[in-house]
Copies of this chain bind each other. A is one copy, B any other.
Amino acid sequence: MSKWRLEVFSDGVFAIAITLLVLEIRVPELTAPTAAALAMKLVAQWPAYLAYVTSFLLIGIIWVNHHALSTRTMRVDRPIVIVNLFVLMAVSFLPFPTAVIARYPQLPPSILLYGVTLTILVVFANVLWQLVLRGDHLDRNAATPRAVRQTSLRLALGIVAYAIATPVGFFVPKLGIALFLLIVIFYYVPGGLDMDLEKAPKHPEDVTN
């Protein structure tokens, strides 16, 4: 499996999943199409917009990190391809829990579904990272030991974070939603491999570009 094609396929899935999110925001059905009714309905579905932004930012940062990782990966083997497929399966599934939470934001099962999906996603991401790390696929010249340790920590923390946010959200849905958004924002704080972004090996195309 060439790394190049794995990247194109993964980027395709990320780009599609992130764009499909909008399909879950529904055009309001109005019995009497007045301006006031439309405005009210549009405002009333604010949880749908919040869910859209949260899931968009989440897939976006996963894409950024996936890139930071694959740039430093020297070669991929079958287990990496398969686990990567599982990561993509969880990412592709995300529009569904997003739609459920957008529709029924106040109901605990929505939070549970969203939280479990993210927990599974972050577990797969950890497995992928460990495979790259242990199989010696990582280009050590492109990743400082500190960045590697930090990435391991940040990824592992993700499991803890979602494992806490999910049950909390089951009992206090609004707090759960806030925590889901907070966790995503946390990952936007630079750190780990990501921090070394500038030091990443250049893609051959960029050199001459």
User: Is the C-beta of A81 less than 8 angstroms from some C-beta in chain B?
Assistant: yes
Within 8 A of B (CB), among A56-115: 56-57, 60, 63-64, 67-68, 71, 74-75, 77-78, 81-82, 85, 88-89, 92-96, 99-100, 103-104, 107-110, 113
A30 part of interface (Cβ distance < 8 Å): yes
Question: How distant is A162 from chain B, measured CB to nearest CB, in Å?
Answer: 18
A7 to B6, CA, bound (A): 12
Residues from chain B with Cβ under 8 Å of A11 in the complex? 5, 8-9, 12
Taking CB atoms, residues of chain B closer than 8 Å to A96 are 22, 25, 27
Find chain B residues with CB under 8 A from A9 CB: 11, 14-15, 63
What is the chain B residue whose CB lies nearest that of A113?
B42
Residues of B close to A88: CB separation below 8 A: 18, 60
Q: How many copies does the complex hold?
A: 4
Which residues of B sit under 8 angstroms from A4, Cβ to Cβ? 203, 205-206, 209
Q: Chain B contacts of A56 at CB under 8 A? A: 89, 92
Residues of chain B contacted by A198 (CB below 8 angstroms): 77
Residues A18 and B13 in contact in the complex (CB < 8 Å), given A4-B206, A64-B1: yes
Known pairs A109-B35, A206-B2; A19 contacts B16 (CB<8 A): yes
